[in-house]
Amino acid sequence: MTVKIIDGKKIASQFFDKIKAEVSVMKNKPGIAIVKVGNDPASEIYINNKLKKAAELGFYVERFNLDEKSTLGEILKVVDKLNQNNKIHGFIVQLPLPTHIDEKLIMGGILPQKDVDGFTPLSMGNLAIGNNLMIPATAKGCLELIKSTGQKISGKNAVIVGRSNIVGKPLALLLLQENATVTICHSKTRNLVKYTQNADILVAAVGKSKLITADMVKKGSIVIDVGINKVGSKIIGDVDFENVKDVAGYITPVPGGVGPMTIAMLLENTLKASKLPRSHY
């Protein structure tokens, strides 16, 4: 069996086309804002990509740049202004935040109906009970990529390496909803290979280049690489793509896999938020 490369760029562009068509006939355009705190260079690229695409699709966009030394109160003030801004239907505070800021307190301040990242306690709780209002974009993007293979998810062994609140945990909940048997591995997992070798669906969301090698992958499996690692001037994933592609049945490339889907799902969430009445929460 030859490996099928899952073309995230192409799949994302189908979502973008659909969103653009819908926005073009809306009188009140969906509004999105992104708050950046500090000077993380990677965040700068992600924010630009998100807002550029949003503007391209006809969204109203705003951006806020706060100083690295901003206090919790100063950030929450901006969050509150956005909560009240009628032109903004959804906004995100780009992570990571400077270490002196408690991320949970910021997430807790975002109005749930504007939480298009899906990271607030209410959104995460809703997801846990199968009430999928705002699903974290990267996790949702991974699920769409898995579904794009046309393979049945129900009953399959899905192994997620990485247990972060933004990727690993929400994706585990989504795959559980799809009736996969889900295992979450993490930095303290002993004998990682024992789990990954049994995975019909393997998702790597760690941030360690080439952590997943060919010997760790089950033949014919679906491999989704969330990792973004800068090695020299190149961006590579958590999966040793060149060798794993000889074993897997389906695999996402980095770049051009999960990344574009994250943006597509974020904008899909924002479009959804612009149409939801408050009574949904």
One of 187, 193, 275, 280 touching ligand NAD (CB under 6 A): 187
- How remote is the C-alpha of 239 from its chain's centroid? 18
Q: How far is the CB of 119 from ligand NAD (least distance, A)?
A: 11
Question: Whose Cβ is closer to ligand NAD: residue 85's or residue 198's?
Answer: 198
Considering only residues 53 to 82 of the shown chain, the ones binding ligand NAD according to CB under 6 A are none
Cβ 168 to ligand NAD, closest distance in Å? Answer: 6
Other CB atoms closer than 10 Å to residue 234's CB: what's the count? Answer: 10
Let me know if 177 is a catalytic residue: no
Q: Is 117 a catalytic residue?
A: yes
| Cα 55 from Cα 79, distance rounded (Å) | 21
Binding part of the chain for ligand NAD, among 25-33, 77-85, 113-121, 160-168 by CB under 6 A, reads 160-168
Residue 50 designated active-site:
yes
Residue 108 vs residues 72, 81, 177, 210: alpha-carbon distances, Å:
12, 15, 25, 35
Under the binding rule (CB under 6 A), the answer on residue 209 touching ligand NAD is no
Check binding of 135 to ligand NAD (CB under 6 A).
no
* Rg, the chain, Cα only: 19
Q: Please state whether beta strands 250-251 and 234-236 pair in parallel, antiparallel, or not at all (unpaired).
A: unpaired
**Between 183 and 189, whose beta carbon lies closer to ligand NAD?**
189
Q: Among 92, 139, 160, 185, which residue sits at the site for ligand NAD (rule: CB under 6 A)?
A: 185
| 8-24 and 137-148 helices, crossing angle to 10° | 110
Tell me: does residue 37 bind ligand NAD (CB under 6 A): no
Of 76 and 239, which has the nearer Cβ to ligand NAD?
239
SS3 74: helix
- Contact indicator for 125, 168 with CB cutoff of 8 Å: no
Q: Which is nearer to ligand NAD, 168 or 253 (CB)?
A: 168
Letters for 88-127 (x = contact with ligand NAD by CB under 6 A, - = none) are: ----------------------------------------
Instruction: Report how far residue 253's alpha carbon sits from residue 265's, in angstroms, rounded to the nearest whole number.
Output: 18
In this complex, which beta carbon is closest to ligand NAD, that of residue 100 or of residue 186?
Answer: 186
Counting residues that bind ligand NAD (by CB under 6 A) gives 25
- Which residues, including other chains, have CB under 8 Å from residue 35's CB and lie 6 or more apart? 63, 64, 66, 75, 78, 79, 82, 91, 92, 93, 94
- CA neighbor of 148 nearest in space, from 5, 3, 1, 2: 5
Active site residues: 50, 94, 117
